[in-house]
Structure formats: C-alpha cells, structure tokens
C-alpha cells in the first residue's frame, strides 16, 4: 500500500513539476507533510537542507529521502524512479515533435504564463515552513535568533546571491554555538 | 558491430552523466555547463547550437531538469538506449549518496549536538525557499494586472490549503489559452506586412 502511494504521489509530481526543483518542493511538501503526513515540517526542513547540500538534482534527492523514510530501500528506488517515469515516457513523444519550431514556441509561451503561479507556489511553501516547529520559541526575548538567521540568510541569498550550501553551513554553526 | 558501438556509446553516456550527477552541487544550471563541456567540447557528440536548441525545449518541460537534460541529450545521441543510460547515470549518484546520508542522519538526529545545528539551519532553509521565489516574481516582469497571479496562488495554497497540483492545473489551463492567443497574434503579424 505504501508503495502504491509513493508511486502515485511521485508520478503526479513528475507530471506537474514545471519550473525546476523548488517548484517540485512545494508539490512534495503537500504530498508528504499535508496529505499523507509521512513527515513533520521539521523533518521536511531537515530533508531540504540535506538535499540542498548534497550533489545531484534536489528533487531526486528529496524523492530518495522520502522513499527511504517511508518504504526503506525499495521505497527509495521506487520514489526516485516514479519521479522520472513521466519524463521517460514523454521523451519519445517530444523528440518526434521537436522538429517543428511551432510547438517549441508554444511551450515556452506556456511556461512564461506559468511562471508567476509557480513563483507563488514556492513562496507559499516557504511560508508554510515558517512555523513554531522550525522557528524556535518566537517572541521569547532572547530567542528571536531564528528570525535573525532567516532574515540574514534571505538578504544574503536575494541581494547577494550567496551560495546556499555556505549559508546552510553558517547557520548550522550559529545554531551550534547559540542553542 | 553496430550493436557493439551503440552499447559503447550508451555506456559512455552513463559514465558522463554519472560524473556530472556525482559532482555537481547547486542544481540544474550549474550542471548545464558541465554537460556542454562533456558532450559538445570533449566527445563532440552533438553540435553546440543543436545542444542549446535542445536545452531550450527541455527547460519548458515538466519534471526534473537534470533528468530531462540527460534523457534528451542521451536520446539525441544514442536513441532509447542512450536516453535510459544517461538518465540512470544522472540519478544513481544521488540515490546512493542520499541513502547513505539518510541512514546516518536518522541514527544521529536525536543527539543534542545535531539538534542544535539543525535548529540553526531550519530558518535558513525557509529563507532559501523564499528568496528564489521572489527573484522569480521579479524576473516575470509583472504588471498591475498579472501581479494578482502570485498573490492568489499564495492565498490558495498557504491560507486555503488548496493542493498545489490543482493550482498548477488551473495555471496550465490559463497559460495555454494565453499562449494560443499570443501564437495567433504572432501569426497575424506575419501575414499583415
């Protein structure tokens, strides 16, 4: 049963995952945290950090991680494969269409229209993770460090395009010394 | 002889994408230059302009960008066998590394030291998700009408807990209509002058 759920969840994510790894993150979050409740938001945040810091595509990393925690070794293989399955099927059909430039233009216009919605999707995923489990003891005087870390990391990432791995390592160090 | 050659190219594709999957940090776009270097410059399997035409199409497809790149480049070079070999090469390193890390992390997660470190990391992860989404909104060059799209999306998902899958389906429908209109306009322009 768990294998069927993993298969269905990740095939769906593979079909609807437009716009890169972070867009998929919001789909994965919905399935894993809200729908099936396989993980808490804290575990999800930890998984994102680990997937971000390791080489390879972030969504494959997350699929493997989710599959492993829910269905062991077989689950990890199944989830990663399920995520790739729609792409694998599509490649044969698209390669035949590719010769016509028209369909390419249509697809890129489609993506242009999708972009603002995908951006909203990702933003909502971030907001959902901004809760009391991930932000420790908000409002309790000296414990606003979580917010400080978040704001500083945001500024570094948004305005200075700082390396995300470096930011994760730095905030890990802050956590180690502060808590 | 032909069979032997095809197998050899498929194997080389596997190795090429395996290396890229194992050593590229920082996701899809960091990977592209490595793919280009290997496939266009070193192996000369595909011409540079053809490679970038292919990537332009791959970028608009759903699914994992790195996997799609492997599939389309692999298919272009060595057919179905090449596509499968390149895809497996791209994902196997990820699977192996994550399996190892997940096993270790689940073992030591409850240690106070690990918990302290991750307490610091979690708010950073939130920032790392919010920042690219805002950058994306900025690059989409919204006007006062289209700015409603991301706002409605956030409200639906975060506030009303609507499934993001449904939101994407609705957005695809809307975008498809939009793209068809744009296409028709472009065609009219071609005819008129």
**C-alpha A114, offset from chain centre:** 18
Compute the C-alpha angle B29/B99/B113, nearest 5°: 95
CB contact B145 to A (< 8 Å): no
Structural contact between residues A168 and A53, judged by C-beta atoms closer than 8 angstroms: yes
Per residue in B70-121, pLDDT (tens digit) is: 999 999 999 999 999 999 999 999 999 999 999 999 899 999 999 999 999 9
- Given B22, B67, B164, which is nearest A30 (Cβ)? B164
Of B117, B147, B164, the CB nearest to A172: B117
Q: How many angstroms separate the CA of residue B26 from the nearest CA in chain A?
A: 7
In the block, which residue shows the tokens 């035409």? Answer: B53
At B13, is the pLDDT very low, low, confident or very high (cuts 50, 70, 90)? very high
Name chain A contacts of B135, Cβ cutoff 8 Å.
Answer: 158
Q: Which of B23, B127, B149 is the closest to A116 by Cβ?
A: B149
Report, as an integer, the average pLDDT of B33-55.
89
Output the CA–CA distances (angstroms, integers) from residue B151 to A127, B83, B134, B148, B158, in the order listed: 13, 39, 12, 5, 10
pLDDT tens-digit series, residues A78-104: 999 999 999 999 888 877 776 556 666
Of the pLDDT bands very low, low, confident and very high (cuts 50, 70, 90), residue B150 is: very high
- A16 vs B contacts (CB less than 8 Å): 62, 165, 168-169
The structure tokens 């998700």 sit at B129
Q: What is the pLDDT of residue B98?
A: 96
Higher pLDDT among residues A157 and A141, named by residue: A157
Tokens representing residue B77 in the block: 């070079």
Distance CA A114, CA A108 (A): 10
How many CA atoms within 13 Å lie on the side-chain side of B17? 28
Mean pLDDT across the stretch B168-182? 85
Indicate the average pLDDT of chain A: 88
Give the Cα separation of A166 and A145 in Å (integer).
18
Contact at CB, A20 and B137, closer than 8 angstroms: no
pLDDT tens readout for residues A110-129? 777 788 999 999 999 999 99
Q: Minimal Cα–Cα distance from B41 to chain A, Å?
A: 22
Chain A residues inside the 8 Å CB shell of B163: 30, 35
Residue ranges of B 62-101 with Cβ closer than 8 A to chain A? 62-68, 71-72, 75-76, 80, 83-84, 87, 90-91, 93-95, 97-99, 101
Q: What is the pLDDT of residues B121-146, one digit of tens each?
A: 999 999 999 998 999 888 888 888 88
Task: Quote ipTM for the complex.
Answer: 0.89
Contact yes or no for A179 and B116 at CB 8 A = yes
Q: How far apart are CA A82 and CA A117, in angstroms?
A: 25
- Which of A34, A65, A136 minimises the CB distance to B98? A65
Substitution target from A29, A40, A124 for chain B, most B beta carbons within 10 A: A124
Sequence-distant (6+) residues with CB within 8 A of B181 are none
- The pLDDT assigned to B3 comes to 64
B111 interface with A at CB cutoff 8 Å: no
Q: Which residues, in sequence order, are CB contacts of A57 under 8 Å at separation 6+?
A: A21, B21, B27, B28, B31, B64, B65, B66, B67, B90, B91, B94
Is A34 in Cβ contact with B124 (below 8 Å)? no
For chain A, report the end-to-end CA distance as a whole number of angstroms: 40
* Average pLDDT value for residue range A28-35: 94
Q: Positive or negative CA dihedral for A3, A8, A28, B14?
A: positive
The tokens of B179 are what? 């793209």
Three-state SS for chain B is CHHHHHHHHHHHHHHHHHHHHHHCCCCHHHHHHHHHHHHHHHCCCCCHHHHHHHHHHHCCCCCCHHHHHHHHHHHHHHHHHHHHHHHHHHHHHHHHHHHHHHHHHHHHCCCHHHHHHHHHHHHHHHHHHHHHHHHHHHHCCCCCCCCHHHHHHHHHHHHCCCCHHHHHHHHHHHHHHHHHHHHHHHHHHHHCC
Contact (Cβ atoms closer than 8 angstroms) between residue B53 and residue B41? no
Q: Contact A21/B65, CB-based, under 8 Å?
A: yes
User: What per-residue confidence (pLDDT) applies to A100?
Assistant: 58
**What's the pLDDT band for A67 if we cut at 50, 70, 90?**
very high
Candidate from B93, B103, B163 with C-beta closest to A55: B93
């Amino acid at each position: 049963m768990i294998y069927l759920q993993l298969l269905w969840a990740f095939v769906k994510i593979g079909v609807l995952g437009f716009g890169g790894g972070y867009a998929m993150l919001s789909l994965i979050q919905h399935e894993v945290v809200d729908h099936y409740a396989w993980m808490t938001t804290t575990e999800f945040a930890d998984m994102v950090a680990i997937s971000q810091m390791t080489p390879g595509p972030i969504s494959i990393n997350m699929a493997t991680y989710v599959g492993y925690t829910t269905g062991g070794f077989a689950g990890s293989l199944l989830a990663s494969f399920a995520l790739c399955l729609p792409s694998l099927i599509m490649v044969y059909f698209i390669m035949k269409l590719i010769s016509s430039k028209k369909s390419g233009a249509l697809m890129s216009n489609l993506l242009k229209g999708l972009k603002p919605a995908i951006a909203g999707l990702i933003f909502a995923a971030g907001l959902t993770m901004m809760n009391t489990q991930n932000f420790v003891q908000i409002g309790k005087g000296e414990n606003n460090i979580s917010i400080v870390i978040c704001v500083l990391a945001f500024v570094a990432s948004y305005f200075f395009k700082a390396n995300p791995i470096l930011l994760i390592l730095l905030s890990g160090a802050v956590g180690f010394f502060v808590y | 002889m032909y069979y032997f050659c095809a197998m050899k190219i498929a194997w080389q594709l596997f190795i090429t994408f395996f290396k890229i999957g194992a050593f590229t940090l920082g996701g899809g776009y960091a990977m592209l230059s490595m793919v280009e270097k290997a496939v266009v410059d070193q192996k000369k399997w595909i011409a540079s302009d053809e490679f970038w035409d292919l990537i332009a199409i791959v970028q608009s497809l759903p699914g994992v960008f790195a996997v799609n790149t492997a599939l389309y480049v692999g298919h272009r070079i060595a057919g179905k066998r090449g596509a499968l070999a390149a895809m497996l090469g791209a994902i196997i390193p990820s699977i192996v590394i994550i399996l190892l890390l997940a096993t270790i992390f689940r073992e030591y997660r409850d240690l106070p030291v690990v918990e302290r470190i991750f307490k610091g990391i979690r708010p950073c992860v939130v920032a790392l998700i919010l920042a690219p989404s805002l950058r994306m909104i900025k690059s989409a060059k919204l006007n006062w009408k289209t700015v409603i799209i991301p706002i409605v999306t956030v409200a639906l998902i975060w506030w009303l807990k609507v499934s993001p899958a449904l939101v994407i389906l609705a957005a695809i429908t809307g975008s498809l209509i939009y793209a068809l209109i744009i296409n028709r306009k472009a065609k009219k322009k071609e005819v008129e002058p």
